[in-house]
Amino acid sequence: MEDLIETIKESFGTLTLNKMRTGLAILGIVIGIGSVIALISLGQASQKSIQNSIQSLGSNLLTVMPGGQRSGAIQGPSGGGTTLTLADAKAIESTSKITTINSVSPELSQRSQVTAGRNNTNTSILGVYPQYSTIRKVDIANGVFISQSDVDNVRKVAVLGPQVVEDLFGEGSTNVVGQTIRVGGQQLKVIGVTVSKGGSGFQNQDDRIYVPLSTAQKQLFGVNYLSSIAVEAKNANVMIDAQNEIGYFLLEKHKLSDPANADFSIFSQNDILNTASQVTGTFTALLGGIAAISLLVGGIGIMNIMLVTVTERTREIGLRKALGAKKKTIITQFLTEAIILTFTGGILGMVIGVIISYILAIVMSLPFTISFSAIGLAIGVSGAIGIIFGWYPAQKAAGLQPIEALRYE
């Protein structure tokens, strides 16, 4: 034990003799470890953000879409974007053949130009029923949501997402209930504003306007079909049963005997989550692989530094061997120096990686996620790099002949 402590002290002393070289060797590992931790954390944060966004749409949720691609046991060709109707939604809700669902929300989604005064924006218009807010977990910050009376009477009313409020009425606008907007030449009265859910691009759940389904179909867009039907299953355990019950019921209603000819698709939240997880998992692995290259470069840098050190200390090694130092002692000395370099770089890289992950999470509006397995792996790999890339220089030093080493100039 005393010999090991003495070896460690001596290794520290040797490394501090040339601080610039030691610092550059450590820097390679710092960059490598920091990159691995930061990039893997970025990938996992993106994955968590996508999962949160999908789950915020509703729990135990099934979505029936026009065009046959997949619906549990139902398979079909793609296409047919107008094959779902309000009658389909009402039939799913009322039939005794489907026993695994709680509620049904018929939906029509279209993009349109919207104006308020001199301001305008292009956003998503959703024609909905009142149960949309329950199934899709939409909360109201001000005013009220669409009511059944609004639907029955084809009222020209609208509920705005926070992003639409900002785009049409300016940043900081709070009380816009009672204001009017224009959609497709029709004037709508604002009756509510939703609580912010977040998102980006076309998936931004704050950049939406909700109107009564009847108003969307008859007054705004002049269509009689639906873009989707959201169905809430009774619980997570009956999701597959619900998919199949709805699928076979719609086949019968659409007078289709062959499931391969289904003109609709049914997706569950799990389907979407699994697909998103696969994509983001591949993305994370790719980022980790790219970062691992910098670790390899850092390891090669340490080997080069140690080889230079062996060359510079040839006479010292020869003298030590002439005085009776064993080969094992020389190997231990150089391996210890390499491991000290990599572990020091590993600790610094871990700290820097966590800091960078935190900054990226703030800048990119992502949840701050740290993978402890990635930290453990990075530190473990740094130690392995010290042993692997320090072994050859250590062996070379231990293999020097004392007389030849003492003659070295």
Residue 147, pLDDT above cutoff 90: yes
pLDDT band, very low/low/confident/very high, at 47 (cuts 50, 70, 90):
confident
pLDDT band, very low/low/confident/very high, at 76 (cuts 50, 70, 90):
very low
pTM for the model: 0.61
Helix ranges, 157-268 (H):
162-169, 213-215, 239-253
Burial classification of residue 278, based on how many CB atoms lie within 10 Å of its CB (0-12 exposed, 13-18 middle, 19 or more buried) = exposed
Residue 201, pLDDT above cutoff 50: no
Averaged pLDDT for residues 294-322: 70
Percent of the chain residues topping a pLDDT of 70: 78
Of 59-68, 275-284, 352-361, 397-406, the range with the lowest mean pLDDT is: 397-406
pLDDT band, very low/low/confident/very high, at 7 (cuts 50, 70, 90):
low
Tell me what pLDDT residue 57 has.
59
The separation between CA 270 and the C-alpha centre of its own chain, rounded to angstroms, equals 15
d(CA 331, CA 398): 6
Domain borders along the chain are 2-53+274-407, 106-223
Residue 202, pLDDT above cutoff 50: no
Averaged pLDDT for residues 293-308: 73
Averaged pLDDT for residues 189-205: 78
pLDDT band, very low/low/confident/very high, at 137 (cuts 50, 70, 90):
confident
Which residues have a Cβ under 8 Å from the Cβ of 303 and sit 6 or more positions away? 389, 390, 392, 393
The separation between CA 320 and the C-alpha centre of its own chain, rounded to angstroms, equals 56
Question: Are the beta carbons of 2 and 8 closer than 8 angstroms?
Answer: no
Tell me what pLDDT residue 392 has.
72
Each residue's pLDDT tens digit, 208-225: 999 999 999 999 999 999
* Residue-averaged pLDDT of the chain: 80
pLDDT band, very low/low/confident/very high, at 106 (cuts 50, 70, 90):
very high
Tell me what pLDDT residue 125 has.
95
Tell me what pLDDT residue 173 has.
76
pLDDT: which is higher, 277 or 165: 165
